[in-house]
């Protein structure tokens, strides 16, 4: 138990070290919604070694969605821009979220943007 806790803590610290680099990539805004407050890096593949290619910089409400939170997909239209992100990890993760929440309005954009889920 304690070992798992330590490993997780170390993993979180490794992820946190990418904060600056992600901040530069994201221009210090949430990579899903563009918010500027409460940003923190999150891992899109929790089991993978943290790399800038599999991390996101997200605000608190987006982090809640990222860890499985529920939301009315029609209230998430401000996430549409993320589907057009030039960062594959941003576009793919936003598309996966919107599909999980059943956002029908996003399907066309996901297809147009050529996001492979």
Q: Which stretch binds Zn ion (CB under 5 A): 24-32, 44-52, 82-90, 93-101?
A: 24-32
Give the shortest CB-117-to-Zn ion separation in angstroms.
20
94 in contact with Zn ion (CB under 5 A): no
Q: Which of 4, 100, 85, 87 is nearest to 51 (CA)?
A: 87
Q: Which stretch binds Zn ion (CB under 5 A): 36-44, 60-68, 69-77, 89-97?
A: 60-68
Residues in the chain: 117
The residue assigned the tokens 């994201």 is 26
33 in contact with Zn ion (CB under 5 A): yes
55: β partners: 43
Which residue, 18 or 32, is less far from Zn ion as judged by CB?
32
Which residue, 15 or 30, is less far from Zn ion as judged by CB?
30
Among positions 57, 59, 91, 95, the unique one binding Zn ion when judged by CB under 5 A: 59
Query: Between β-strands 40-43 and 55-58, what pairing exists: parallel, antiparallel or unpaired?
Result: antiparallel
59 Cβ neighbours under 8 A, 6+ residues apart: 30, 32, 33, 35, 36, 37, 38, 39
Binding site residues, Zn ion, CB under 5 A: 30, 32-33, 35, 59, 62
């Amino acid at each position: 138990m304690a070992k798992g806790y330590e490993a997780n803590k170390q993993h979180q610290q490794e992820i946190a070290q990418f904060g600056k680099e992600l901040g530069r990539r994201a221009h210090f805004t949430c990579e899903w919604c563009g918010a500027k407050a409460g940003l923190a890096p999150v891992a899109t593949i929790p089991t993978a070694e943290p790399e800038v290619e599999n991390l996101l910089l997200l605000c608190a409400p987006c982090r809640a969605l990222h860890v499985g939170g529920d939301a009315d997909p029609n209230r998430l239209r401000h996430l549409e821009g993320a589907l057009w992100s030039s960062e594959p990890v941003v576009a793919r993760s936003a598309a996966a979220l919107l599909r999980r929440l059943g956002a029908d309005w996003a399907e066309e954009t996901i297809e147009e943007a050529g996001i492979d889920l």
